[in-house]
Copies of this chain bind each other. A is one copy, B any other.
Amino acid sequence: MNQAFAEYLAACRQRADLALDRFSKQIHSEYSGHKDDSLSRRLYEAMRYSLLNGGKRVRPTLVYASAEALDPGCSELALDHIAASVECLHSYSLVHDDLPAMDDDDLRRGQPTCHRAYDEATAILAGDALHTLAFELLADCPGLESSQRISLVKALAAASGARGMVGGQFIDLSLEHHQPAIELLQTMHSLKTGALIRAALRMGGIAANANGEQLQALDRYGNFIGLAFQVKDDLLDIEGSTEVLGKQQGSDINNSKMTYPGLLGQGGSRDLLEQLLQEALMAVAVFGDKAERLRQLGGYIISRNY
């Protein structure tokens, strides 16, 4: 990874962290007008604990980079709202996925999961509140037309509900200890992880006034890098180190999860990654030079070590 791109990634991450910090403080201070601030403080703490725990901020970065691939024009603050919204949605899904009744995970990014650090009821409610906050941030998005804001709400809702992320998580749970075909693995990931990645790109595009053809190009790019993201995750589970990953290395194998390396082997999975990257690069060729960040992000996704 070249130095300039490393700095870009760090800047996007920092920008998203600042936005998340600011917006989550804001709703707390709005609430604090209430006299019983102390009682719900723990709820806000659990929300912020889950939100600000050092994520890579891949989805916010995709929002920024897709707007950049077009004529940005839109306000920086609008992009921050969108980036924070997508990350709130992602964060809520992690909090709920980690629950004992779901994946029952103790660690997330090297820290105790929300229900371990707090308790199960608090984790359910903190997830619910982050879920709502994601939509509130879009409705309040400054500097955009109402019609754009509605398109953003639609894009996020379609990607994250029963036809998207939640549907994918449900299929994933249903498949545990099964060995389904690769098409099914692909459908599941396309919903569980891919849908929100595609939404992040589309939402950056909506803010930057993308036309239908441009949104389609972003969708295609999102399809390929979404899948690549998952294949790489599966490879890292085998090849990565527990310390760098922030979660137990080898946990997929221990949980008999169906993975790409399990189906295609490590070599086959690496070939697939390379092929997906080429497809992704072709998809954004229409944007010319402005797609440079999207191209670099594709390369980063298949070469990252955590």
Where the two chains meet, the residues of A that have a C-beta atom closer than 8 Å to any C-beta of B are 27-28, 30-31, 34-36, 39-40, 42-44, 47, 92-93, 96, 99, 101-102, 119-122, 124-125, 128-129, 131-133, 135-136, 138-140, 145-147, 149-150, 153-154, 156-158, 160-163, 166-167, 169-171, 173-175, 183-184, 187-188
Contacts and interface: CB of A to CB of B under 8 A. Distances in A.
Contacts of A187: 34-36
Contacts of A161: 27, 128-129, 132-133, 136
A166 B40 CA distance: 10
Q: Which of A93, A96, A135, A147 has the most CB of B within 10 A?
A: A135
A43 B166 contact: yes
A167 to B, nearest CB: 5
Contacts of A39: 170-171, 174-175, 184
Contacts of A146: 145-147, 149-150
A173 B132 contact: no
A42 to B, nearest CB: 8
A132 B156 CA distance: 9
Nearest to A153: B139
Contacts of A160: 132
A48 to B, nearest CB: 11
B131 A128 contact: yes
Nearest to A127: B128
B131 A40 contact: no
Contacts of A175: 39
Copies in the complex: 2
A183 B102 CA distance: 38
Contacts of A43: 162, 166-167, 170
B149 A132 contact: no
A122 B169 CA distance: 10
A146 to B, nearest CB: 4
Given A120-B101, A139-B153, A153-B135, A128 B35 contact: no
B99 A124 contact: yes
B27 A96 contact: no
B133 A162 contact: yes
A178 to B, nearest CB: 10
A127 to B, nearest CB: 8
A39 B156 CA distance: 23
Nearest to A24: B162
B124 A139 contact: no
Contacts of A28: 162
Nearest to A172: B39
A96 B126 CA distance: 12
A176 to B, nearest CB: 10
A56 B183 CA distance: 43
Q: Which of A119, A132, A160, A169 has the most CB of B within 10 A?
A: A132
Contact of A170 (B40, B147, B163): B40
